[in-house]
């Protein structure tokens, strides 16, 4: 190992981009709460994931990163990890011997862990249902909304600009699925001056200036698609828009998937959609900017400390509010995202989503 991880991060990001992880690095360097522990981390690997590893190392953990074929990542960053003393594993079935597993999408729920698991996504929840060890669901907290609502909205707008299709005031965007991600995309497009329609079967709240259509109103949905510059899907349902495939495919609209899986279905060929139906923000080197990921990644790390200290009982748990509030204080006081926080934390999408 001859790379200096702290220097590499400092050369790339000001600490206002990762205030919560920076606070962990400072504190854990002294307190070493994971001294001697071996942590397996499955967070998607991009350059902006590096501060998460530095905080775990500062805490005294040996870090192994698992790259799973179902989870996107940057091959160049992955290749460079060993230089920073971070081991890379690519075969989950062969992995064992970890104290803590910091999972994503439940892909490593079968890897044995002495202290327990923290899971980043809601889709991973089903893999942990019935788990007899402690599990912290990072997705169930308030902090995850900073990533999924503010971060994905920002990522969508940056991705469209990157693709030569900037969101502008003369353009109309229809967002199908008005949950956390859809609300964020709609809010970012409305902020750019676009005309925004959200389609959802539920009476979801919409950002100021946007309108909602009931997904059951086929004629209104078809009219909205026909008059759109861009249709964005964010339903969270694989092939969830298959019944609209013909309308979408033969419309003039740009098609952009933001969901983790193909939402358009097999009747919409990959070449018909931007970025071949892969979430459109993943066309970027940083699909979600560090400032929006920092609270989520800090919470995953904080869960590792709680698990290793045996402070989490068996079963699946939402993150403790005190843990989240401590991270939120750092973000409010020192984060580049501070000015945007009230929008997302007060948003109806957030209040509703914690009830689900
Ligand atoms: N691209 C990214 O960077 C990124 C980041 C985070 C999450 N995601 C993904 O985005 C997707 C959405 O996540 P979310 O957190 O917003 O989910 P969510 O559950 O909060 O919201 C989904 C919404 O879609 C609606 N819906 C479901 N089926 C529909 C249909 N057929 N037509 C219209 N509306 C429908 C639901 O009523 C709900 O309001 C997931 O696949 C998630 O994994 C992507």
Task: Give residue 5 CA to ligand 1 midpoint distance, Å.
Answer: 35
Indicate if 115 and 81 belong to the same structural domain.
yes
User: For 141-197, what is each residue's pLDDT tens digit?
Assistant: 889 989 988 999 999 999 999 999 999 999 999 999 999 899 999 999 999 999 999
Domain assignment of residue 37, yes or no: yes
Task: Give residue 180 CA to ligand 1 midpoint distance, Å.
Answer: 7
Position in ligand 1 atom list of the atom nearest CA 182: 16
Indicate if 83 and 115 belong to the same structural domain.
yes
Indicate if 166 and 128 belong to the same structural domain.
no
Task: Indicate the residue among 283, 313, 338 that finishes a domain.
Answer: 283
Domain assignment of residue 62, yes or no: yes
- What pLDDT score was predicted for residue 354? 30
Residue 283 · residue 259 · CB < 8 Å: no
Indicate if 18 and 132 belong to the same structural domain.
yes
Token reading at 327: 């991270």
Position in ligand 1 atom list of the atom nearest CA 279: 1
Position in ligand 1 atom list of the atom nearest CA 353: 20
- Among protein residues, the one with the nearest Cα to ligand 1's atom 38 is 179
Give the domain range for residue 71. 5-140+289-353
Is the pLDDT reported for residue 356 higher than 80? no
Task: Give residue 166 CA to ligand 1 midpoint distance, Å.
Answer: 23
User: For 78-123, what is each residue's pLDDT tens digit?
Assistant: 999 999 999 999 876 667 889 999 999 899 999 999 999 999 988 7
- What pLDDT score was predicted for residue 288? 95
| DSSP assignment letter at 34 | T
Is the pLDDT reported for residue 340 higher than 50? yes
Instruction: Decide: residue 277, CB within 10 A, 0-12 exposed, 13-18 middle, 19+ buried.
Output: buried
- What pLDDT score was predicted for residue 349? 45
Position in ligand 1 atom list of the atom nearest CA 155: 3
* Closest by Cα among 13, 6, 348, 4 to 182: 348
- Give the percent of the chain with pLDDT over 90: 83
- What pLDDT score was predicted for residue 345? 76
Indicate if 233 and 275 belong to the same structural domain.
yes
Instruction: Average the pLDDT over each of 75-79, 226-230, 345-349 and give the range with the smallest value.
Output: 345-349
Indicate the pLDDT class of residue 260, thresholds 50, 70 and 90.
confident
Indicate the pLDDT class of residue 1, thresholds 50, 70 and 90.
low
Sheet bearing 172-176, strands edge to edge? 211-214, 195-200, 172-176, 230-233, 254-257
Indicate if 224 and 179 belong to the same structural domain.
yes
- Among protein residues, the one with the nearest Cα to ligand 1's atom 19 is 179
Is the pLDDT reported for residue 219 higher than 70? yes
Q: Give the C-alpha separation, 354 to 308, whole Å.
A: 26
- What pLDDT score was predicted for residue 347? 55
Indicate if 77 and 172 belong to the same structural domain.
no
Indicate if 298 and 200 belong to the same structural domain.
no
Give the CATH number, domain containing residue 100.
Answer: 3.40.50.1480
Indicate if 158 and 178 belong to the same structural domain.
yes
Indicate if 278 and 297 belong to the same structural domain.
no
Task: Give residue 188 CA to ligand 1 midpoint distance, Å.
Answer: 16
Q: Give the C-alpha separation, 313 to 112, whole Å.
A: 17
Say how many domains are in the chain. Answer: 2
Task: Give residue 86 CA to ligand 1 midpoint distance, Å.
Answer: 33
Which of 236, 257, 274, 283 has the most ligand 1 atoms within 8 A of CB, as the residue to mutate?
Answer: 236
Output the average pLDDT for the chain: 93
User: For 223-246, what is each residue's pLDDT tens digit?
Assistant: 999 999 999 999 989 999 999 999
Position in ligand 1 atom list of the atom nearest CA 179: 21
- Among protein residues, the one with the nearest Cα to ligand 1's atom 7 is 148
Indicate if 94 and 115 belong to the same structural domain.
yes
Is the pLDDT reported for residue 348 higher than 70? no
Domain assignment of residue 52, yes or no: yes
User: For 17-47, what is each residue's pLDDT tens digit?
Assistant: 999 999 999 999 999 999 999 999 999 999 9
What is the b/e burial string over 217-246, where b = at least 16 CB atoms within 10 angstroms of the residue's CB? Answer: eeeebeebbeebbbbbbbbbeebbbbebbe
Task: Indicate the residue among 227, 258, 283 that finishes a domain.
Answer: 283
- What pLDDT score was predicted for residue 65? 96
| Residues near ligand 1 (Cβ within 6 A) | 123, 148, 152, 155, 176-182, 199-202, 204, 215, 234-237, 240, 258-260, 279, 281, 287-288, 353
Task: Indicate the residue among 262, 283, 304 that finishes a domain.
Answer: 283
Indicate the pLDDT class of residue 351, thresholds 50, 70 and 90.
very low
Is the pLDDT reported for residue 274 higher than 70? yes
Task: Give residue 236 CA to ligand 1 midpoint distance, Å.
Answer: 4
Is the pLDDT reported for residue 353 higher than 50? no
Task: Give residue 148 CA to ligand 1 midpoint distance, Å.
Answer: 10
Residue 217 · residue 160 · CB < 8 Å: no
Task: Give residue 297 CA to ligand 1 midpoint distance, Å.
Answer: 21
pTM (predicted TM-score): 0.90
- Among protein residues, the one with the nearest Cα to ligand 1's atom 1 is 258
Position in ligand 1 atom list of the atom nearest CA 287: 3
Q: Cβ–Cβ contacts within 10 Å for residue 24, how many? A: 26
Q: Which residue has the tokens 């892969």?
A: 278
Position in ligand 1 atom list of the atom nearest CA 263: 41
What is the three-class DSSP state of 73?
coil
| DSSP assignment letter at 319 | P
Q: Regarding beta strands 254-257 and 134-137, do their DSSP bridges make them parallel or antiparallel, or are they unpaired?
A: unpaired
Domain assignment of residue 59, yes or no: yes
Domain assignment of residue 145, yes or no: no
Give the CATH number, domain containing residue 192.
Answer: 3.40.50.720
- What pLDDT score was predicted for residue 71? 82
Indicate if 19 and 124 belong to the same structural domain.
yes
Task: Give residue 182 CA to ligand 1 midpoint distance, Å.
Answer: 7
Domain assignment of residue 320, yes or no: yes
Q: Give the C-alpha separation, 245 to 264, whole Å.
A: 6
| DSSP assignment letter at 318 | P
């Amino acid at each position: 190992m001859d790379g200096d991880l702290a220097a590499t991060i400092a050369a790339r990001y000001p600490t206002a981009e990762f205030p919560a992880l920076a606070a962990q690095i400072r504190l854990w360097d002294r307190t070493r709460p994971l001294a001697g522990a071996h942590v397996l981390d499955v967070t998607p690997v991009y350059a902006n994931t590096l501060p998460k590893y530095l905080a775990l190392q500062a805490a005294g953990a040996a870090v192994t990163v698992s790259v799973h074929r179902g989870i996107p990542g940057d091959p160049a960053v992955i290749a460079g990890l060993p230089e920073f003393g971070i081991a890379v594993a690519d075969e989950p079935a062969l992995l064992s011997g970890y104290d803590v597993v910091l999972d994503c999408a439940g892909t490593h729920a079968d890897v044995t862990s002495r202290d327990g698991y923290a899971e980043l996504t809601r889709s991973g929840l089903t893999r942990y249902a019935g788990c007899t060890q402690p599990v912290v669901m990072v997705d169930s907290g308030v902090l995850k909304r900073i990533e999924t609502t503010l971060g994905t909205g920002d990522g969508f707008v940056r991705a469209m600009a990157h693709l030569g299709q900037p969101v502008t005031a003369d353009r109309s965007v229809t967002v199908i699925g008005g949950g956390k991600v859809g609300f964020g995309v709609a809010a970012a497009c409305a902020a750019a001056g676009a005309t925004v329609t959200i389609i959802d079967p539920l009476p979801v709240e919409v950002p100021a200036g946007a309108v909602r259509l009931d997904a059951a109103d086929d004629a209104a949905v078809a009219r909205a698609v026909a008059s759109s510059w861009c249709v964005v899907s964010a339903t969270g349902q694989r092939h969830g828009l298959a019944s609209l495939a013909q309308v979408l495919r033969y419309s003039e609209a740009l098609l952009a998937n933001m969901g983790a899986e193909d939402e358009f279905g097999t009747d919409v060929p990959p070449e018909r959609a931007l970025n071949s139906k892969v979430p459109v923000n993943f066309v970027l080197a940083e699909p979600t900017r560090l400032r929006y990921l920092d609270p989520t990644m800090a919470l995953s790390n904080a869960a590792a400390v709680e698990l290793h200290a045996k402070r989490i009982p068996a079963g699946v748990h939402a993150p403790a509010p005190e843990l989240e509030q401590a991270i939120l204080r750092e973000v409010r006081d020192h984060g580049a995202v501070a000015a945007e926080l009230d929008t997302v934390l007060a948003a109806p999408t957030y209040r509703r989503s914690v009830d689900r």
